[in-house]
Amino acid sequence: MPRITIGLGVLLIAVGAIAYIATAFASWTALIPAILGAVILVAGLIGRKNQKLGIHLALAVAVLGILGTSMNVLQLGALIAGTAERPTAVFTSTITFALLLLYVVLGVHSFVSARRWKAAEA
């Protein structure tokens, strides 16, 4: 999980940087995926030394990110219809939401597998 966490952090930083460039550096909120990515990257690095702490921290940030991006994701229909007020924000938030959701699913699967492995060992 630490490698996946670090990879996700790098990917989110790239999404945020691309969004910031795409908005012609007009809105710092385009960097929100990059900020989330930086925190998740640091948590992944912590996870190399203390896996339980690092991954739990990264998953908590991911859940908060999912909650934070969900408002824009709800406007996906307007984006498809061409009536979204901030199409770049909706698109970027949807990508961020999907990546974070996938990460949470992988994290929960990892925790369940670890518990099963420990139970089988005992």
Q: What burial class does residue 62 get, using C-beta atoms within 10 Å of its C-beta: 0-12 exposed, 13-18 middle, 19+ buried? A: buried
Given CA atoms 4, 96, 111, 46 in this order, what sign does their dihedral have?
A: positive
**What value does the mean pLDDT of the chain take?**
92
pLDDT for res 85? 86
Name the percent of the chain lying above pLDDT 90: 64
Residue labelled with tokens 């994701």: 73
Say which residue, 88 or 61, is predicted with more confidence.
61
Q: Which helix (H) or strand (E) holds 74?
A: none
User: Predicted confidence band at 76 (pLDDT cuts at 50, 70, 90)?
Assistant: confident
pLDDT tens sequence across 85-117:
888 888 999 999 999 999 999 999 988 888 888
Each residue's pLDDT tens digit, 16-30: 999 999 988 888 888
Residue 46 contacts residue 57 (beta carbons within 8 Å): yes
Residue 122, SS3 per DSSP: coil
What pTM value is reported for the model? 0.89
Q: Helix %, strand %, coil % for the chain, to 5?
A: 90, 0, 10
Q: Is the Cα dihedral 3, 12, 63, 43 positive or negative?
A: positive
Burial 45-54 (b: 16+ CB within 10 A, else e): ebbeeebeeb
User: CA nearest 61: which of 43, 48, 45?
Assistant: 43
Please give the pLDDT value at position 121. Answer: 74
